[in-house]
Chain A
Amino acid sequence: MKAVVAENLTILYDGKPALERVSFSLDEGETLLLLGPNGAGKTSLLKTISCFHGEYTGRVEVFGREPCEARELIGYVPQSHSLNERVPLTALEVVAMGAIYRRGFVHFKIPRETMERAEKALEFVGLGGLGERLFSQLSGGQKQRLLLARALISDPKLLLLDEPLSALDPSARAEVAGVLSKIKSRKGLTMVITTHDINPLLDIGDRVMLINKRLIAFGRPEEVLTDDVIKSVYGPLARVIPVGGKLFCITGDVHLHRHGGGGR
Chain B
Amino acid sequence: MIPEYLIRAFLASIMVSVLLGMLSPLINTKGLAFLTHALFHSLLFGAVLGMILALLFENMALVTLTALLVTLVVVLLIACLEKRGFSSDSAVGIVASFVAGLIVLGFGVLYSVMADRPYFPLSENIVSYLTGDIFLITISNLEALAVGGVLLFFLMLALYRDFLYLSFDPEGMESYGGNTTAYLMVLYAIVGAIGALIVQTVGLITLQVVAILPGAIALMVSNDLRKVLGVSLFVTLTVQLSSVALAYFTNIPPSGLATIALGIIYGALLIRR
Contact = CB atoms under 8 A, between A and B. Distances in A.
Interface in B199-232: 219, 222-225, 228
Interface of B: 28-29, 31, 157-162, 164-165, 167-169, 171-179, 182, 219, 222-225, 228
Interface in A64-106: 71-72, 74-76, 78, 82-84, 86-89, 93-94, 97-102, 105-106
A93 B225 CA distance: 12
Given A83-B169, A89-B164, A98-B176, A108 B28 contact: no
Interface of A: 50-52, 71-72, 74-76, 78, 82-84, 86-89, 93-94, 97-102, 105-108, 110, 134-136, 147, 150, 154
Contact of B228 (A72, A88, A102): A88
A94 B171 CA distance: 13
Contacts of B162: 105-107
Contacts of A82: 169, 171
Given A101-B177, A108-B160, A76 B171 contact: yes
A91 to B, nearest CB: 12
B173 A134 contact: no
Given A86-B219, A88-B224, A106-B162, A71 B175 contact: yes
Nearest to B176: A101
Contact of A97 (B31, B176, B182): B176
A126 B96 CA distance: 48
9 contacts: A72-B177, A76-B172, A82-B169, A83-B168, A83-B169, A84-B168, A89-B165, A101-B173, A108-B161
A84 B173 contact: no
A134 B223 contact: yes
A112 to B, nearest CB: 15
A78 B160 contact: no
B29 A87 contact: yes
A75 B174 CA distance: 11
Given A86-B29, A88-B164, A89-B164, 20 more contacts: A52-B174, A71-B177, A76-B171, A78-B169, A84-B168, A86-B28, A88-B29, A88-B224, A88-B228, A89-B225, A93-B161, A101-B177, A101-B178, A105-B162, A105-B179, A106-B162, A108-B160, A134-B224, A135-B168, A154-B176
Contacts of A154: 176
A77 B118 CA distance: 63
B109 to A, nearest CB: 40
A99 B168 CA distance: 16
B168 A52 contact: no
Contacts of A97: 165, 168-169, 172-173, 176
A83 B224 CA distance: 17
A100 B164 CA distance: 14
B112 to A, nearest CB: 46
Contacts of A134: 223-224
Contacts of A106: 158-159, 162
